[in-house]
Amino acid sequence: MVIIISQIEGQEKTTIDLKANNLMRETKVLTIARLAKMLVDLFGIDDPFEKVGKHNGEEIEMYFSELDGYITFTLTSERENFDCRAEKANSPIARLIVTVEEEKILGVISSIIRSKNNLFSLMKLLKYIIPGKAKIKGSYIAAIKLVRCLMIGKHEVYSKKGGTFA
């Protein structure tokens, strides 16, 4: 009887540990989504949103393999309507798959967000794509339009005169 009770306690502990790990991963993905939305709301630049064009209203999914979590971005031609959700997309036109270690995910996202919206910065993203740290499946053009909308490095807060982040 003692053996059966300890097995049940062991199963309950394992179940609680799994639920706690799942909650931690979901919280991290949700935090990344909220951070992206907040930074675009505060420091976003209207120009890349105006160039969304025919992809307006399309969903782009970002998948973090280490966290097993999704963020769905809906492209829009107006920055005020930019939104993202921490869930799997219904019908994404493109998928960005980030395969870096859990500790480096925020660094990768931060690097993308702090970049300037220009061709040179897009070329710098190849350092993630070539070694396979990030992959794009589906429409490359739509994925690039999303990344350009996320890039806020041209905002005056990042300039030497306007802020302290330069």
pLDDT in tens, the chain (166 residues): 545 555 566 666 678 888 888 899 999 999 999 988 998 888 888 899 999 989 999 999 999 999 999 999 999 999 899 989 999 999 999 999 999 998 999 888 888 888 888 888 888 888 888 898 899 999 999 999 999 999 988 777 766 654 454 4
Among 45, 49, 48, smallest CA distance to 152 is for 45
Cα 147 from Cα 37, distance rounded (Å): 13
166 found inside a domain: no
What pLDDT was estimated at residue 14? 75
82 found inside a domain: yes
144 found inside a domain: yes
53 found inside a domain: yes
The sign of the torsion formed by the CA atoms of 166, 132, 60, 103 equals negative
164 found inside a domain: no
The whole domain housing 37 covers 2-158
Residue 157's contacts (CB-CB under 8 Å, 6 or more residues apart) are: 43, 163, 165
Strand stretches in the chain, DSSP E: 59-64, 69-74, 83-85, 92-98, 134-138
Cα 123 from Cα 115, distance rounded (Å): 11
163 found inside a domain: no
CATH code assigned at 132: 3.30.1050.10
- Number of other CB atoms surrounding residue 129 within 10 Å: 12
Cα 122 from Cα 134, distance rounded (Å): 13
Cα 84 from Cα 122, distance rounded (Å): 21
Domain count, the chain: 1
113 found inside a domain: yes
165 found inside a domain: no
